[in-house]
């Protein structure tokens, strides 16, 4: 009963701040983006093993767990997850129970827990720091061959659609977002988090749990930069086009080129750069 009486951590945390403006100052209330740890545990045949600890914004925790496990190659489909629940172990501090997620793995379908050679410990800044190289990714992910094609006007319209849907960012200004669109520009899913990789894992988890993987014919827009870990997760999810509000890293561009992803950066206002597989973006001259 105590576990149910313990309040879940919220998306925002209230704070008091002193605001300086011109020659005046005043104390006002503010909302901060909540950042708390989430431990993802795998449960198989009575064994429990920690798969990851990540700093995240509470909310869509089950999607985050499912998306992370899919991105890391631990589960391939929703049938490989027997259930997801918060921790109910009475030995765990009640205040931490909503910061621990147990993922049940069916014994007959499970990849061995021994595949987790080490615990994946992440922070909201680093994502999959120290993860395996591109060669290791090639052993479990295929090159994306997708006929998706969009025009420049489609790309230019994505940031405003994402901003309109960002609920928590409007009150805190402190979150990353990942937004998934179909080929017609319809918003399919948007998730926010203090970690950009977590926001994408939440979208991948949503797709996994709703039987929508692979995400062929879809376009992903992320706030901030396009990094290696975002491209790695997009490749495993089968997303053919990734757009970033800021710049891509060199390794992100290499991954996109090698795996057939169209990668765009600096998608803001009327401009954007196409770094790889430009054939999926029709020129305005060709489309006029």
Ordered mean pLDDT values, 10 residues apiece, the chain (288 residues): 59 89 90 91 88 93 97 91 89 82 78 49 42 69 95 96 81 83 97 94 98 97 94 97 96 95 96 97 63
pTM: predicted TM-score of the whole model, two decimal places: 0.86
Q: How far is CA 62 from the centre of its chain?
A: 12
Angle at 47 between CA 136 and CA 132, to 5 degrees: 10
Residue 288's pLDDT is: 40
- In a domain, residue 98? The reply is no
Paired tokens of 12: 């925002």
Residue 175's pLDDT is: 83
- In a domain, residue 144? The reply is no
- In a domain, residue 109? The reply is no
- In a domain, residue 212? The reply is yes
- In a domain, residue 199? The reply is yes
Residue 128's pLDDT is: 47
How many domains, in total, are found in the chain?
A: 1
Range of the domain at 181: 150-287
* CATH number of the domain residue 231 falls in: 3.40.140.10
Asked if 42 and 13 count as a contact pair (C-beta separation under 8 A), the reply is no
Residues near 59 by Cβ (< 8 Å), separated by ≥ 6? 11, 192
Residue 125's pLDDT is: 42
Number of Cβ atoms within 10 Å of the Cβ of 286: 7
- In a domain, residue 264? The reply is yes
Residue 250's pLDDT is: 93
- In a domain, residue 74? The reply is no
Catalytic residue ranges: 126
Residue 245's pLDDT is: 96
- In a domain, residue 202? The reply is yes
The strand pair at 47-56 and 36-44 is best described as antiparallel
SS (H, E, C) 115-176: HCCCCEECCCCCCCCCCCCHHHHHCCCCCCCCCCCEEHHHHHHHHHHHHHHCCCHHHHCCCE
Residue 167's pLDDT is: 75
Q: How far is CA 54 from the centre of its chain?
A: 12
């Amino acid at each position: 009963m105590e576990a149910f009486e313990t309040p879940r951590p919220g998306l925002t945390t209230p704070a008091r701040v002193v605001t300086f403006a011109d020659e005046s100052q005043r104390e006002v209330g503010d909302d901060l983006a909540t950042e708390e740890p989430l431990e993802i545990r795998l449960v198989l045949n009575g064994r429990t093993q920690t798969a990851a600890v990540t700093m995240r914004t509470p909310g869509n925790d089950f999607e985050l767990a499912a998306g992370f496990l899919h991105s890391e190659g631990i589960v391939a489909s929703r049938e490989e997850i027997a259930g997801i629940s918060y921790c109910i172990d009475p030995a765990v501090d009640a205040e931490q129970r909503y910061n621990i997620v147990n993922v049940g793995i069916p014994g007959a379908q499970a990849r061995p827990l021994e595949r987790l050679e080490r615990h994946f410990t992440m922070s909201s800044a680093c994502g999959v720091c120290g993860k395996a190289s591109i060669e290791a990714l090639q052993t479990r992910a295929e090159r994306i061959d997708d006929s998706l094609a969009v025009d420049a006007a489609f790309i230019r319209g994505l940031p405003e659609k994402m901003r309109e849907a960002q609920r928590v960012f409007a009150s805190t200004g402190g979150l990353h977002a990942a937004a998934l669109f179909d080929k017609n520009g319809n918003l399919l899913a948007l998730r926010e988090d203090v970690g950009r990789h977590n926001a994408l894992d939440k979208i991948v988890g949503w797709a996994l749990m709703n039987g929508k993987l692979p995400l062929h014919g879809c376009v992903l827009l992320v706030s901030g930069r396009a990094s290696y870990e975002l491209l790695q997760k997009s490749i495993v999810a089968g997303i053919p086009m990734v757009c970033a509000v800021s710049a891509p890293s060199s390794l992100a561009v290499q991954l996109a080129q090698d795996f057939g992803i169209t990668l765009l950066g600096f998608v803001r206002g009327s401009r954007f750069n196409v770094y790889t597989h430009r054939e999926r973006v029709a020129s305005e001259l060709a489309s006029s």
